[in-house]
Amino acid sequence: MAIETSASSIISFQTDPSRYAHWKLSLEGPIARLTMAVQEDKPLKPDYQLKLNSYDLGVDIELADAVQRLRFEHPEVRCVVVTSSRDRVFCAGANIHMLATSSHGFKVNFCKFTNETRLSMEDASRCSGQKYLAALNGTCAGGGYELALACDEIILIDDGNSAVSLPETPLLGVLPGTGGLTRLVDKRKVRRDLADLFCTVAEGVRGARAREWRLVDQVVPKSRFEEEILRRAKEMAATSPAPSGEGIALTPLNKRVEADRVAYDQVTLELDRQARRAILILHGPRAGGPSDAASIRGLGASWWPLQAFRELDDALCHLRVNEDTIGLVLVKTEGSVQDALALDETLERLQDDWFVREVRWLIARTLRRMDLTARSFFALIEPGSCFAGSLFELALAADRSYMLDDPERPCEVALSSLNGGAYPMSHGLTRLQARFLGEPETAAKLAGAPRSYDPAQALAAGLVTVVADDIDYEDEVRVACEERISLSPDALTGMEANLRFPGSEGCDSKIFSRLSAWQNWIFQRPNAVGDKGALTLYGKPERPSFDPRRT
Amino acid sequence: MAIETSASSIISFQTDPSRYAHWKLSLEGPIARLTMAVQEDKPLKPDYQLKLNSYDLGVDIELADAVQRLRFEHPEVRCVVVTSSRDRVFCAGANIHMLATSSHGFKVNFCKFTNETRLSMEDASRCSGQKYLAALNGTCAGGGYELALACDEIILIDDGNSAVSLPETPLLGVLPGTGGLTRLVDKRKVRRDLADLFCTVAEGVRGARAREWRLVDQVVPKSRFEEEILRRAKEMAATSPAPSGEGIALTPLNKRVEADRVAYDQVTLELDRQARRAILILHGPRAGGPSDAASIRGLGASWWPLQAFRELDDALCHLRVNEDTIGLVLVKTEGSVQDALALDETLERLQDDWFVREVRWLIARTLRRMDLTARSFFALIEPGSCFAGSLFELALAADRSYMLDDPERPCEVALSSLNGGAYPMSHGLTRLQARFLGEPETAAKLAGAPRSYDPAQALAAGLVTVVADDIDYEDEVRVACEERISLSPDALTGMEANLRFPGSEGCDSKIFSRLSAWQNWIFQRPNAVGDKGALTLYGKPERPSFDPRRT
């Protein structure tokens, strides 16, 4: 039975530690402990049980929340130990019965979100200096090992039994698709032939060999395991100084899910399911916002950029899993260009403040989530909009932008210095660099001399796709929307995934391009998901039967 | 009806200009003209007609042959004009009815081969200085434009009608998968939002806009078209001097296709279809081969490295399309390590000779074809083998290598300076660099001080995967083969595509990772290939009907 989303079973991405069912977050000075203790009788859908610390989207939503909260609420934390409360089991990976009973689209979006969560751990390490230590106190299989791979270091218990493994290919006929194959050879730089061996041996590798093959960093006898974890966590914690200042509580978002509308305070998502189209409106910052660090801290989670981008992030997640028939999102902003630029001035001036930096990194992550969202985005730049600086990234992330040129109702866009590097895409380029790949000097020039642009100037500078006057604008946009919606949703997904990432690839982007694209292919193959496929038959007495043809 | 390969309809990759059905190759000094004149009644399979200069694998095999021959047989050629003999039509792209009636595996392999052919054009330009000029004398759609994108320059006729277009997404619900999307934004660096517009407009773009959007380099009125093509071809031809010396004829390969064996003079492919396994044997060079340029030229196509790697290339192509149930290829060499190293010494010492250089580039292309072949490769390093230097690349390209350690029957492998850079993979790294991504100094050190290695040394140096003594070797290999064949063919294809390419990606490799992987996914989606899919219904009165869900 396929999992389908419907109005009656909306998946929520909002949680907090008091509501965690599957993780325990404990803190002791600079060291946090994130302990996986999956409750098998609390799956997101009632179709399966979460045995042996296996996970589903619900488990991962809690993990993503914890990683985010640690950065904002506990900036003093310098090392996060990821471990398990179960004896002899670290994590058995993604729940296979969940995968086997999920629709193709749900599987793909589940993997995408879990991939983003693991990237958020690496982002916390790289940007915020919150290092992650995987303390593998037991068997660590599949997605469990992929979780470990996302950590800075991996310590495996040596109890004569516990192994790390990626049994997806031998047992399930699919890939370790949550970054596993990529991180194995690109991040940990395991030799490719050893990786090939490792990925075909269901029982995995343990002990000294696991370290020799670079699969783990240390193998420690059971008797010294806890002590060594603590010792190493302290060492890792000591490598980067904690920022000064108290944490900021990430208070619950004010989200109202209505029949054809999802409303937050700064973000509104208007749904026209008949037309398969949504309008995403971001209400820009108001004049008079705080401009010094103390006042900003005083506002905390209600400081505009934090609030607005947390809401936007949630709206994107909501759209992905709860509104899969929406094919096109029209992105609008409402507010003042000047106020948006003033905010960017603050974001830039106070970039040495840890909280301001965290907010910038959260904006960057949210924009990357947008880049990776398999929906068409058209930015509509209209009078009263505020596509300026950080908010202009929304137009740059969109597949196209349409701008109204009406002298009666003037309209502008603007760049700020933040367009020059604050918000890198997952393949490492800024959105301006990706846009002007053919003229690198243009990207540098535009970012180096930020200013505002009227429609003619914006078109000439290459900052918008289409400029139309008041006579043509509405028709142009209407026709473009209708045409977009008439195209194959799958072809658009593939096309956008290719056109959005011109230029370089890195480990992060390879996870979504090379690895996820192949995994999505395999997730459709009868050898995995057919009646006799390995994923379908996992745990059943019958053996899978494969079509032997190689493609 | 799906195209299936069977013993009765073996696809051959061997041809020559006297047998071309679809292309005319004409030469005038430094300028060659490759004219597409597809005979619609000569398709590779009788299921479709090749209307409007559309192509199938048969058409592309001729193109690949022409590109290769131009380098070897006509080194004086400095510019190749690619054009069409049809009035007002350059090329309509891949034949849609062929695609719609082909099996999934055939589609994937067709696209892979055509992609490799286009890369071979870019390789000819980059390495041999044979520049490609696309002379678009008429409509240029889909794969036709992708062929143009593989050229160094594109000149489009301005006749008020002829356009370039990538109508795959709007008309067929698939991607421009022969490099189109990647070359658009990565090679020609078309702005991503303009690329988005372009790829959704079935009728394409023509005239000045095509040039402004960087889709073509020049737009020339019909009256001046021929003259301008010639002028520009002469200019391009003048940019690199021709090598001195006559061309070398690529004489036909001596290929015997037997019931369970494909035999060439230096290469043998032994097929065990029951076990889904092949043994690929390369017979190494013999002592006393020529060591000066004149003698080598005298041998021409029968010079060992040229002959052996042309045969290997053909064997790989044969395997892909004619033997799709073979899942595992055991790679063996037979010969003398010393003789193989002597040959490499010649290949290195004479690298300034154009013919020797061409042979090295052909070896590099063949090895890249192996990297991209969706079969498991295990190299078996046994007594009497000659995995040395250039031939050691076969072991490096393999997914694993097994080496026998038997003091009674000694066995060695060796590196030569050619392992240090002569044979880059499609993502730009050498195979040693890819293997030792985690220790770049190791790759440089090994390549910088080439020597031979006995089994223990080879294992210690990380050059082989498994070393086993005479008691264990056979069992170890047998079990590994059985295990490999028991795994899902699809999961292996995806796994190998990920593990073989650690590290960087470039335009060439992105074509196979990001673009082809997504295209393969789409080639399975009901929205393309289902009963109501766009590819299935193309040319029929019924309109496609899409599942609206976005993944």
Q: Do A169 and B491 touch (CB under 8 A)?
A: yes
Q: What is the pLDDT of residue B8?
A: 53
CA count, 13 A, side-chain hemisphere, A391:
36
H or E stretch at B486: helix B473-486
Q: What is the CA radius of gyration of chain A?
A: 24
Alpha-carbon distance of B138 to B351, in angstroms, equals 41
HEC sequence for A368-426: HHHHCCCCEEEEEECCCCCCEHHHHHHHHHCCEEEEEECCCCCCCEECCHHHHCCCCCC
Interface confidence, given as ipTM, is 0.95
Distance from CA of A460 to the nearest CA of B (A): 12
CB crowding A1-25: b at 16 or more within 10 Å, else e: eebebeeeeebebebbeeebebbeb
Find the residue in A nearest to B509 (Cα).
Answer: A514
Preferred mutation among B518, B522, B536 to probe A, highest tally of A CBs within 10 A: B518
Alpha-carbon distance of A39 to A61, in angstroms, equals 14
DSSP A252: P
CA count, 13 A, side-chain hemisphere, B21:
16
Looking at chain B, the number of H-run helices and the number of E-run strands are 22, 21
Q: Which residues of chain B does A437 touch, with a Cβ-Cβ cutoff of 8 Å? A: 185-186, 189
Q: Do B546 and A484 touch (CB under 8 A)?
A: no
Q: What is the pLDDT of residue A9?
A: 85
Of B411, B419, B428, the C-alpha closest to B446 is B419
Judging by DSSP bridges, how do beta strands A218-221 and A153-158 pair with one another? parallel
Band (pLDDT 50/70/90 cuts) for residue A11 is: very high
Q: Torsions phi, psi of A45, nearest 5?
A: -125, 150
Q: Do B499 and A400 touch (CB under 8 A)?
A: no
Alpha-carbon distance of A248 to A307, in angstroms, equals 12
Q: A269 with A319: CB under 8 angstroms?
A: yes
| DSSP secondary structure string for all residues of B312-330 | HHHHHHHHHHH-TT--EEE
Q: Do B518 and A503 touch (CB under 8 A)?
A: no
Alpha-carbon distance of B207 to B189, in angstroms, equals 19
Q: Do B173 and A434 touch (CB under 8 A)?
A: no
By three-state DSSP, how is residue A135 classified?
strand
CB neighbourhood size of A210 (10 A): 25
Distance from CA of A300 to the nearest CA of B (A): 35
Find the residue in B nearest to A433 (Cα).
Answer: B191
Question: Which residue among B188, B494, B550 sits closest to A519, beta carbon to beta carbon?
Answer: B494
Query: CA A452, A457, A460, A463: dihedral to nearest 10 degrees?
Result: 30
Distance from CA of B485 to the nearest CA of A (A): 9
Question: Which residue among A186, A503, A514 sits closest to B186, beta carbon to beta carbon?
Answer: A503
DSSP A205: B
Q: Do A185 and B437 touch (CB under 8 A)?
A: yes
For the segment A168-191, the average pLDDT, to the nearest whole number, is 97
Preferred mutation among A193, A500, A520, A525 to probe B, highest tally of B CBs within 10 A: A193
Distance of CA B549 to the CA centre of its chain: 35
Type of residue at A344: D
Dihedral sign, Cα of residue B331, residue B438, residue A122, residue A135 = positive
Distance from CA of B173 to the nearest CA of A (A): 5
Query: CA A521, A527, A533, A536: dihedral to nearest 10 degrees?
Result: -10
Cβ-in-10-Å burial (0-12, 13-18, 19+) of B274 comes to: exposed
Strands (E) across A114-166 are located at 131-136, 138-141, 153-158, 164-165
Q: Do A500 and B192 touch (CB under 8 A)?
A: yes
Whole-Å CA distances, A226 to A79, A111, A135, A233, B258: 15, 31, 9, 10, 64
Q: Which residues of chain A does B195 touch, with a Cβ-Cβ cutoff of 8 Å? A: 499
Q: Which residues of chain B does A194 touch, with a Cβ-Cβ cutoff of 8 Å? A: 465
Q: Which residues of chain B does A168 touch, with a Cβ-Cβ cutoff of 8 Å? A: 491
Find the residue in A nearest to B505 (Cα).
Answer: A505
Alpha-carbon distance of A301 to A307, in angstroms, equals 6
Looking at chain A, the number of H-run helices and the number of E-run strands are 22, 21
Q: Do B324 and A434 touch (CB under 8 A)?
A: no
Give the residue ranges of chain B where pLDDT is below 50: 1-7
Q: Do B517 and A522 touch (CB under 8 A)?
A: no
Of B546, B551, B548, the C-alpha closest to B172 is B546
Q: Which residues of chain A does B203 touch, with a Cβ-Cβ cutoff of 8 Å? A: none
The predicted-structure confidence for A413-449, as pLDDT tens digits, reads as follows 999 999 999 999 999 999 999 999 999 999 999 999 9
Give residues with Cβ within 8 angstroms of B352, minimum separation 6.
none
Q: What is the pLDDT of residue B7?
A: 44
Distance of CA A398 to the CA centre of its chain: 17
What does pLDDT average to over chain A?
Answer: 96
Strand partners, B79: B31, B131
Alpha-carbon distance of A280 to B188, in angstroms, equals 32
Whole-Å CA distances, B309 to B328, B341, B367, B436, B505: 20, 16, 9, 26, 26
CA count, 13 A, side-chain hemisphere, B487:
30
CB neighbourhood size of B445 (10 A): 13
First vs last C-alpha separation in chain A: 29
Q: B9 with B323: CB under 8 angstroms?
A: no
Of B549, B502, B501, the C-alpha closest to B526 is B549
First vs last C-alpha separation in chain B: 29
DSSP B156: E
Question: Which residue among B325, B400, B520 sits closest to A193, beta carbon to beta carbon?
Answer: B400
Q: What is the pLDDT of residue B4?
A: 41
The predicted-structure confidence for A486-514, as pLDDT tens digits, reads as follows 999 999 999 999 999 999 999 999 999 99
Q: What is the pLDDT of residue B3?
A: 39
Q: In what order do the strands lie in the sheet with B153-158?
A: B23-28, B31-36, B79-84, B131-136, B153-158, B218-221
Q: What is the pLDDT of residue A2?
A: 37
Q: Do B519 and A494 touch (CB under 8 A)?
A: yes
Alpha-carbon distance of A25 to A232, in angstroms, equals 19
Q: Between chain A and chain B, how many beta carbons pairs sit less than 8 Å apart?
A: 293
Q: A128 with A152: CB under 8 angstroms?
A: no
Preferred mutation among B464, B465, B521 to probe A, highest tally of A CBs within 10 A: B521
Token code pair at residue B290: 């020529």
pLDDT at residue A223 is higher than 80: yes
Strand partners, B34: B25, B82
Alpha-carbon distance of B301 to B308, in angstroms, equals 10
Give residues with Cβ within 8 angstroms of A6, minimum separation 6.
none
Preferred mutation among B174, B193, B482 to probe A, highest tally of A CBs within 10 A: B193
Q: What is the pLDDT of residue A8?
A: 53
Q: Which residues of chain A does B466 touch, with a Cβ-Cβ cutoff of 8 Å? A: 197
Of B426, B306, B321, the C-alpha closest to B102 is B321
Q: Which residues of chain A does B501 touch, with a Cβ-Cβ cutoff of 8 Å? A: 514
Of B182, B194, B164, B44, the C-alpha closest to B93 is B164
Token code pair at residue B358: 């061409």
Whole-Å CA distances, B40 to A528, B37, B134, B168: 39, 9, 22, 21
Q: Torsions phi, psi of A233, nearest 5?
A: -60, -40
Name residue, tokens 């760049």: A415
Alpha-carbon distance of B273 to B96, in angstroms, equals 32
Question: Which residue among B104, B401, B491 sits closest to A522, beta carbon to beta carbon?
Answer: B491
Distance from CA of B226 to the nearest CA of A (A): 29
Question: Which residue among A503, A515, A520 sits closest to B521, beta carbon to beta carbon?
Answer: A520
Q: Do B488 and A534 touch (CB under 8 A)?
A: yes
Q: What is the pLDDT of residue A7?
A: 43
Distance from CA of A384 to the nearest CA of B (A): 23
Q: Do A505 and B503 touch (CB under 8 A)?
A: no
Alpha-carbon distance of A509 to B505, in angstroms, equals 10
